[in-house]
Structure 1
Amino acid sequence: MATKRRATAALAWLLLAGLLTTAPEATAAAPAPAAEGGTGPVDVRAYWTPQRMRAAVPVDRSADVAVAGRRPAAGAARARAVVAPRSTGKLFFSDGASDYVCSGAAVNTPERNVVLTAGHCVNSGATRGLLGCRPGRYFTRFLFVPGYAAGARPYGAWAGVTALAQPDWVNQCGNFSHDQAVLTVAPLGGRQLVDVVGGNAVAWGYPPREDGVRVIGWPAEAPYDGEHAQQCAGPTTASPGTGDAQMSCPLNGGASGGPWFLGMVSPDVGYIWAVTSRRTTEGPALLLAWPLDRTILTLLAAVRPARATATAGAPAAARPRGRGPLSVAALPAVTGRGQPYRLRLRARAGTRVVVQARRSATARWRRLTVVRMPASGVVDLSRASGPAGPVWFRLKQGKRVGKKAKVVVRACPLPVDRRAAVVAATGCSSPTA
């Protein structure tokens, strides 16, 4: 980060804001998702020996960002060591020459294998050249260690498979409003990440000013050592002139990518509405993060594998005669307001089934649609969730009725600003513990 001149005293701290993330300059343009390029999960885990993990440094440790955040005076910003929520962790990665650290958190997706972090923890970001901005370069050898503490890996070490940063971070110089990224990780011991540590929700459209925010990270510059999770908690305000959310907090390099929780549904998972992006280097010790917007949904969708589709082929083997299956399952069974979910229908091939729903355990069933079952005997129906609360579904064939399935639609956290237009602009996915 180039040295900045002082402006007015009121804005000096902002003009001297330092990245938690000044990464090595990009040398190649590769804005597409970055697979591990021949380095499989076993190789990645083998690479990250305890010695390499201890030696890895914050991605912003470079000569032009040598000024650390000012230590808080009495009564000023403070952090405390905590036992980290098991869904949060330390992220290790490499640029091929050096090893680095950030922070991150597992998020709940249908694949149950995604980590949310900062864009600069995945991609170096666009750099300015003679012909304009050069796209950033993706890092490699990602390893996510949830609950990391003094070298311990209480919930395993999860090797990265595919990394994807926000396109505006990759292609536009200094676009910190989209300093976010996602990383898929390989299964470990036959289980997905979220099945082991839980998955957080993402919450978007919230204003920068909120109350009761909780920030988790693994800062690795003095006075911290990166071996233990640290937490700041309190209100956030809007950063003057930038649109960022800011919090009084002294965390430094290594905390980048750590989650900002708007609320918790259990000790281990909650609603993430921002991730740590940068910090001030003079004046009050502040962390800055841009609240997530709806582009986070596009990013999460882009990192998912292509959906399998049914293809025509040889006729299906004849099924034994009989009544056959008649069931419906909700995927997932808990979702957030405005989030899609699927109903998986199972019934005998060639038959017609009526899909029914009701919103209370005593209400009358109403018909949603009629479906003719294909040769596979399985149909997925996509639906958008409505108001918060439970919804029951069932299948019916003549007088025969299948077992019920229930979807619970969670209400998103309410913003501090309760005006109707502000609340209507917010949305969230669903966490799972």
Structure 2
Amino acid sequence: MIALTGHGHSPGSAIAQTVSSSDSEDAKNYWTPARMKAATPEDQRRPQKHALLRTKKSIPQGTAFTGIPSVGRLFTHSKTGDHYCTASVVYSTKHNLALTAAHCIYSYNSGTKTGYYRDKIAFVPQYDAGNALYGIWSAKALLVHNGWKKNADPDLDFGFIVLTRDKTSGKNVADVTGSNRLTPNTALPENVHVVGYPASGTPGNDRAIQCDTTAIHRFKYQLAFDCDGFTGGTSGSPWLWRYDPAKKQGKVVGVLGGYHQGGITPQRSYSSLLDHDIADLRDQAESKG
């Protein structure tokens, strides 16, 4: 196994984007069932031939299912319209953090070298064919690493969303859905259970997709797995190591994103290496809760 070590990027140094209570409430109201169904995936991935990561085994196929509570669709609004990715609830002391890919919540323009946080952010745990089974959770703060904000560094393609407390129940999201534990610096290869939300209209029929596959250390600061079916919309999907089917929880060792913002085909997916950079960012997100 290969032990993963730090990037050597400057630690922390992220500035959170706070969301006012009125904007947060507006975001929650914005995402009607019709708007959720009309949103388009953040990424486009097209099938093409490529070499398998595991040369002696056929590539697994992701299968549609009803999802798990700790993973859901992440809806966002940008200058190009309404889009979606995938996000997951990760353990935090205040039970209110969701993890996704940085490119899902912060848009960067390489031509102008400028960017902006998206608005109308809403997380829908276990989204299923238009149904918000565990409610709609809006954001109170967004965080991506400064390395992503400055030049969309693919080695830092991860971000956190601090979610608002439910006004009716007084609960935070993890109190309702449970959470997965972020586990940086995990040695690979390891078997992982990946859950994400592919493009609507695919065989998943507007549902989640799951796959059991092997995560490997692909490039210096990138991880990868092979599994067919991870089309646009799956950016931000958690790679769950030691997944417990009974509890429907595991340890997060990867977040779909990174190289080519997660890959250019539905068969091979990537993640930025998760090391001290994501741990530092998580700690900063905790302080904003």
State the TM bucket, normalised to the shorter chain: 0.7 to 0.9
Q: Measured at CA, do residues 37 and 170 of structure 1 come closer, stay the same or move farther in structure 2, by a change above 3 Å?
A: same
Q: Which of the residues 226, 238, 241 maps onto 1:262?
A: 241
Conserved in 2, the CA contact under 8 Å of 1:279 and 1:285?
A: no
- The 3-state SS of whatever aligns with 1:220 is coil
Q: Measured at CA, do residues 178 and 78 of structure 1 come closer, stay the same or move farther in structure 2, by a change above 3 Å?
A: same
Q: CA deviation at 1:137?
A: 1.1
> Counterparts of 2:22 and 2:33 in 1: how far apart (Å)?
19
> Counterparts of 2:224 and 2:84 in 1: how far apart (Å)?
22
> Counterparts of 1:71 and 1:225 in 2: how far apart (Å)?
22
- Does 1:98 find its partner at 2:77? no
Conserved in 1, the CA contact under 8 Å of 2:76 and 2:119?
A: yes
> Counterparts of 2:255 and 2:82 in 1: how far apart (Å)?
21
> Counterparts of 2:109 and 2:155 in 1: how far apart (Å)?
14
- The 3-state SS of whatever aligns with 1:102 is strand
Q: CA deviation at 1:285?
A: 2.0
Aligned residues: 264
Match of 1:118 in 2: 101
Q: Deviations over 1:1-58 (max 9, x none)?
A: xxxxxxxxxxxxxxxxxxxxxxxxxxxxxx7322235643332121111111011111
CA RMSD of aligned residues (A): 2.6
Conserved in 2, the CA contact under 8 Å of 1:219 and 1:226?
A: no
Q: CA deviation at 1:170?
A: 1.2
Q: Deviations over 1:376-416 (max 9, x none)?
A: xxxxxxxxxxxxxxxxxxxxxxxxxxxxxxxxxxxxxxxxx
AA at the equivalent of 1:136: G
> Counterparts of 1:84 and 1:58 in 2: how far apart (Å)?
18
Q: CA deviation at 1:96?
A: 4.6
- Which protein has the bigger helix share? 2
> Counterparts of 1:167 and 1:242 in 2: how far apart (Å)?
20
Conserved in 2, the CA contact under 8 Å of 1:104 and 1:257?
A: yes
Q: Which of the residues 38, 46, 59 maps onto 1:68?
A: 46
- Does 1:231 find its partner at 2:213? no
- The 3-state SS of whatever aligns with 1:91 is strand
AA at the equivalent of 2:210: Q
- The 3-state SS of whatever aligns with 1:120 is helix
- The 3-state SS of whatever aligns with 2:124 is strand
- Does 1:51 find its partner at 2:30? no
AA at the equivalent of 1:184: V
- Does 1:203 find its partner at 2:183? yes
Q: Which of the residues 251, 274, 282 maps onto 2:254?
A: 274
TM-score by length of 2: 0.82
Gaps in structure 1 of 5+ consecutive residues: 1-30, 62-66, 308-433
AA at the equivalent of 1:285: Q
TM-score by length of 1: 0.56
AA at the equivalent of 1:127: S
Match of 1:249 in 2: 227
- The 3-state SS of whatever aligns with 1:46 is helix
- Does 1:109 find its partner at 2:92? yes
> Counterparts of 1:245 and 1:275 in 2: how far apart (Å)?
9
Q: CA deviation at 1:244?
A: 1.7
Q: Which of the residues 63, 83, 101 maps onto 1:80?
A: 63
Identity value in percent: 25
Higher relative contact order (CA 8 A, sep 6+): 2
Conserved in 1, the CA contact under 8 Å of 2:193 and 2:213?
A: yes
Match of 2:283 in 1: 301
Say which is worse superposed, 69-78 or 294-303, in terms of deviation: 69-78
